[in-house]
Structure 1
Amino acid sequence: MSLAKADTASLPRRSPVQQRSRERMDKILAVATAMIGARGSDQLKMGEVAEKAGISIGSLYQYFPDKSAIIRSLAERYNADSRRCIEDALLPVRTLADLETAYGELIDLYYDIYRAEPVMRDIWSGTQADKQLAALELTESRICGSMLADAMARAHGAADSSRYAATAFLIWQLGEATMRLAVSVDADEGAALVAAFRQMTLREILAA
């Protein structure tokens, strides 16, 4: 046997069990997303999720011990997608003009997404009552705030972003609260609230 063949043979093959497991989890979360979008998370029943996902209730519990675990997994997925979007928008920032444009577009995009996503509105509404969801939101605000602080440092020509860390973290956390308020009122009032927040925070970001 040649060395090349020996090396190849020693490599672990991709486990079909793991692949099926990932596909099953994706199916569960897709079913839960549709159910929450239609009726809200309060009406999410584990038995119905299992039935619609085509699995036994025992199999469902192997992945998620309760519906709160499903909701947190959905929140984590949405957060990961949002983080990539924020990173893509802020990484190219080099000037104050770049920062103003990128930040303004991000605020508008966030409002549009959360207005259109009933699942995210539902997750947000439960954040204050679920300590783990609240902790997840706080962690996410720190991560996104850190990306904003880095962009602010580049735009202002500062070598260290730590001077902007507190401001950026506060702005991001206030932004979460603003979005939660904006999606709880009618579209016109919500848009006005988001515009006011964008104008107010941009002054602080560009003057920092």
Structure 2
Amino acid sequence: MKCVQHSTSLRRAPVQQRSAERLSRILDACASLLDEVGYEDLSTRAVAVRAQVPIGSVYRFFGNKRAMVEALAERNLADYGERVTVRLADVDTGDWRGAMDVALEEYLAMKRTMPGFSLVDFGNEIPVGSRDVQPNRLMSDRLAELFGAHLGREPDDELRRLLLLVVETADALIKLAFRVSPDGDVDILAEMREMLLGYLAPHLD
């Protein structure tokens, strides 16, 4: 079960298993409706109907649809971290190229298959959260922790800076690739990968 246990967007964190399952259904419904109707036409009532919960259950967790989408973005980031962590177990320690491929592959897999992800991802696509929240920095910080552990080095300022530049560059080029083709233009994505590996090589080899 996917769920946001400590989301800053929640009015109240779930305590019991049943409550956590209800929250998970609400976020699943939110994600699927985003794909169908978009953010502007999304409503808390429609989410309640899709999740088969009373509307009061939605407002128990969220004050409005913006907070609900924020929580979905946070869940996406948590899911991404878990997926990358699992895949890194099969990558040789110190193999930063293999780690980078895992990070890219898992992001693209989520963008292609995860409901709502193309509209929300980690909070970039729809302007959610406060101005102090920078989704790309959150993602690069998470990758710095994962890469640091895999490479046997501290996720220091240098690694965080390198990965922030990688994430910002990848974000722009992935958007371009998916504007060109619904599944992501393979040539643009291949060029992006080579560009990122070439940038990181002098720093990580």
TM range (shorter): 0.7 to 0.9
SS at match of 2:116: helix
Quickly say closer, same or farther: Cα 1:130–1:78, change in 2 above 3 A: same
**Which portions of structure 1, spanning 4 or more consecutive aligned residues, are displaced by more than 6 angstroms?**
none
Question: Which residue of 113, 116, 130 corresponds with 2:127?
Answer: 130
Kindly report which structure 2 residues correspond to 1:96-111, keeping only aligned pairs within 5 A, or say none.
98-111=95-108
1:176 is aligned to 2:148: no
**Cα shift at 1:123:** 0.9
Question: Is the Cα contact below 8 Å between 1:36 and 1:119 reproduced in 2?
Answer: yes
SS at match of 1:41: coil
> CA offsets per residue over residues 65-112 of structure 1, 9 Å max, x none?
1111111111111111111222344465434xx222332243234223
Structure 2: distance between partners of 1:108 and 1:26: 25
Q: In the alignment, which residue of structure 2 is the partner of 1:11?
A: none
**Cα shift at 1:133:** 7.2
Q: TM-score, normalised by structure 2?
A: 0.74
> CA offsets per residue over residues 28-84 of structure 1, 9 Å max, x none?
122222222222222211112223333332332111111111111111111111112
RMSD: 3.1
Q: In the alignment, which residue of structure 2 is the partner of 1:142?
A: 141
Kindly report which structure 2 residues correspond to 1:1-208, keeping only aligned pairs within 5 A, or say none.
18-90=16-88, 92-95=91-94, 98-124=95-121, 127=124, 130-132=127-129, 135=133, 137=135, 138-148=137-147, 151=150, 154=152, 161-187=156-182, 190-208=185-203
Q: Bigger CA drift: 47-56 or 192-201? A: 47-56
Percent identity, aligned pairs only, is 24
Show structure 1 runs of 5+ residues with no match: 1-15
Instruction: Return the structure number with greater helix share.
Output: 1
Show structure 2 runs of 5+ residues with no match: 1-13
Q: TM-score, normalised by structure 1?
A: 0.73
Quickly say closer, same or farther: Cα 1:119–1:171, change in 2 above 3 A: same
* Paired positions, count: 187
**Cα shift at 1:167:** 1.4
Structure 2: distance between partners of 1:125 and 1:142: 13
Structure 1: distance between partners of 2:148 and 2:65: 35
